[in-house]
Structure 1
Amino acid sequence: MGDNSKKERRKFLDKGLKLGIAAAIGGLGISKITSKLNAKTNDHSSGEKMELMTVDGTLIEVDSSEVMEVQHAEDHDQKYNVREGMPNRKFVMVIDLAKCKNALKCQQSCNKHHYITGDNAWLKVYKMQEEKDTAPYWMPTTCMHCDQPACVTVCPVDATFKRKDGLVLIDNERCIGCRFCMAACPYSTRVFNWSEPNQEYTLNMDMVNHQYSPEHGGMPSVKGTVDKCDFCPHQVQNNELPHCVTACPNGVFYFGDKYEDTVNNGEETVRLSKLLEEKAGYRLMDSLGTEPSVYYLPPVDRLVDFEDGLEEYTEFKSVDKPE
């Protein structure tokens, strides 16, 4: 009975709504579903019923003939081995708010190596101030790569997935642009490509003919899909730090392996547990149960006074600052 249950679950996960979800997500979703998924056409009812949930949470019962299957390529298992990630690793990031000067070198480097621009930047820096009488500070934000990611739960086509090494990635070839993941993310770190990206950086010619992979960095964005910070898995595979870490001139970002209890900011390697304990590290909205893989160190004992922008970095203005 257990095997039958697993087969039925697999069967359900390999199916998508033909009209229900498409109608809910609008014209873009309809066109993307039609182009990416091959529908089965049935002239007669199969007599087999399936229970599905609509986007508003209502349970409905439909004939299985009204549901279309996702047609996997013959190399499906090989193609999606990137979903497993690196064994026996758990990648984490620590952001030291006391060191951030809003230099935006992190954002510039991320944009350059992922061919993204403007408001679609994966890494954003915000001016934060709890009250008018409290001191302001700069706060970089990235995808939190949660251990319990809400974005993965709501994706209707399994485009967003969680790897065993802690990374949450997006398969843009499966993404239908419904933006359910954006609505579910409590950190608002995802961006949507409404149009063909304006790639201001010259593409590396080696990338032009490179076969797409969700973990291969440096690929241009795709219109009608969702993007976000990916922790630079192409760098991590080569035992290198993410681009934001190495680009930051102030050592704001630390990256490492939680299992090894070490993180590095490009200049020093420190114990993760000791750093979090001594600096009172915390995670954003931890009470939600998302279990983020990004930790913050509070903006105390700052290395520099807060400045509302630095003249030498005016070329890379923060996205929330008016032009």
Structure 2
Amino acid sequence: MCPPTGEVDDGPEMDLEESERATADRDVDPGEAIPPYAVTDGSQFGRRRFLRVLGLGTLAVVPLPILPELMRAAGLAEGQPEPVHGIGEPARTRDGRIRQWTMIIDLRSCDGCQSVGQPPRCTAACIEGHFAPEPMEWIEVYEADLPGGGTQFIPTPCQQCQNPPCVNVCPVGATFSTPEGTVLIDQDRCIGCRICMAACPYDRRFFNWGDAPIPPEALLADYSPEHQVPAKKGTVMKCDFCPDMARTGTLPYCVQGCPNRAIYYGDLEEDVATNGRVVVSASRFLAENDAYRLKEDLGTKPRVYYIPGHGEAVGRDVFTPDRQPTEWPWMEWAEGAVTWQR
């Protein structure tokens, strides 16, 4: 399996007639596999209507950096309100500074869960905790080749960029940066254009092509961009960095699920990070261990840091190939059941 390339999987065609997010006045050609555009404030804004407003004959002639600004201008002309995302108040330190969440992944302790004879537990814990629909892996563990031979495992969540290409290209403000440094998606505003997926250099965004499974315990959940339950058809989803859990003193699911304690979560303002067992000074831990970030040359300024390694701290040899067969706890419709089950 190769590390993220930034390419977008077009996926299967959507059944537009069954889409819950179809617009009231859309005029899509029969068989056109383009998700319908909609906003949730009562106004409808279809693809062809958007092109008529802009006076454009085709979407293909519009340069990608210009397109979001044009769409925002068209949205304002239609009277759409400014985005209101309904997230919680940012967490603050004792002296009032807004916390800045970060993640440090110590690859010296990551062996892809080979030592416990299971597929990566960070991925499984995330899927189970977030009810992530199949085939989404919000934190995906890649097995990458090392320059001198052998392989290493690299858990890859959303990198929570501080200069996020996805935010810069979203035409309706559905994906946004928070004061705490996380990047979230508001499915109530997402129009399913997938421009953000094309812009993400880490391939960490996923599209809901169909009706996602809704477990019984999610039926009463209050949707929030910080807790994307239930999933919504025709929208993009991704790792949210679990800021709502952090504010209550709970570590993210992936941190809790890692049996080797390879994942640290912390606050750059307080210069502290923990894997649930030990607490470290984040800046010192990074400096003393030659930490790096993925694709730093792109200038995205990720909040996820990596300590170089290949699982040697837990006894893994670089030439021990392959992770365990993948069995994820996705929801499924069991025979005779009235709700989705694991």
Shorter chain as normaliser: what TM range? 0.7 to 0.9
Identity of aligned residues (%): 35
**CA shift for structure 1 position 198:** 4.5
Match of 2:298 in 1: 288
Question: Structure 2: 5+ residue runs without aligned partners?
Answer: 1-24, 46-53, 93-97, 114-119, 329-342
For 1:161, which of 168, 176, 186 is the aligned residue?
Answer: 176
Does residue 242 of structure 2 align to residue 226 of structure 1?
A: no
Quote the Cα distance in structure 1 between the aligned partners of 2:210 and 2:227.
Answer: 22
Question: Structure 1: 5+ residue runs without aligned partners?
Answer: 1-18, 41-48, 318-323
Structure 1 residue matching 2:159: 3-state secondary structure: coil
Quote the Cα distance in structure 1 between the aligned partners of 2:255 and 2:132.
Answer: 18
Q: What code does the residue aligned with 2:111 have?
A: K
Q: What code does the residue aligned with 2:297 have?
A: S
**CA shift for structure 1 position 68:** 4.6
Pair 70,194 (structure 1): closer, same or farther in 2 beyond 3 Å: farther
Q: Following superposition of structure 1 onto structure 2, how do residues 1-323 of structure 1 map, counting pairs within 5 Å?
A: 28-29=34-35, 31-33=36-38, 38-39=43-44, 56-57=62-63, 68-72=77-81, 80-82=85-87, 85-87=90-92, 88-103=98-113, 104-131=120-147, 133-198=148-213, 202-204=215-217, 207-216=218-227, 219-299=229-309, 301-306=312-317, 307-309=320-322, 314=325, 316=327
Quote the Cα distance in structure 2 between the aligned partners of 1:154 and 1:128.
Answer: 29
**CA shift for structure 1 position 36:** 6.4
- Whether contact under 8 Å (1:151, 1:182) holds in the other structure is yes
Quote the Cα distance in structure 1 between the aligned partners of 2:262 and 2:74.
Answer: 54
Q: What code does the residue aligned with 1:33 have?
A: A
Deviations 1:193-227 (A, max 9, x none): 1122346xx431xx31333211125x132221111
**CA shift for structure 1 position 67:** 6.9
Match of 2:11 in 1: none
**CA shift for structure 1 position 190:** 0.8
Match of 1:4 in 2: none
- Whether contact under 8 Å (2:39, 2:191) holds in the other structure is no
- Whether contact under 8 Å (1:215, 1:234) holds in the other structure is yes
Structure 1 residue matching 2:313: 3-state secondary structure: coil
How many pairs align? 273
Once superposed, what is the RMSD of the aligned Cα atoms? 3.4
Q: What code does the residue aligned with 2:203 have?
A: S
Which structure shows the bigger proportion of residues in helix conformation?
Answer: 1
Q: Which moved more, 1:299-308 or 1:269-278?
A: 299-308
TM-score normalised according to structure 1 size: 0.74
TM-score normalised according to structure 2 size: 0.70
Quote the Cα distance in structure 2 between the aligned partners of 1:98 and 1:124.
Answer: 17
Pair 308,239 (structure 1): closer, same or farther in 2 beyond 3 Å: same
Structure 2 residue matching 1:182: 3-state secondary structure: helix
Pair 212,117 (structure 1): closer, same or farther in 2 beyond 3 Å: closer
Quote the Cα distance in structure 1 between the aligned partners of 2:121 and 2:273.
Answer: 20
Quote the Cα distance in structure 2 between the aligned partners of 1:65 and 1:93.
Answer: 38
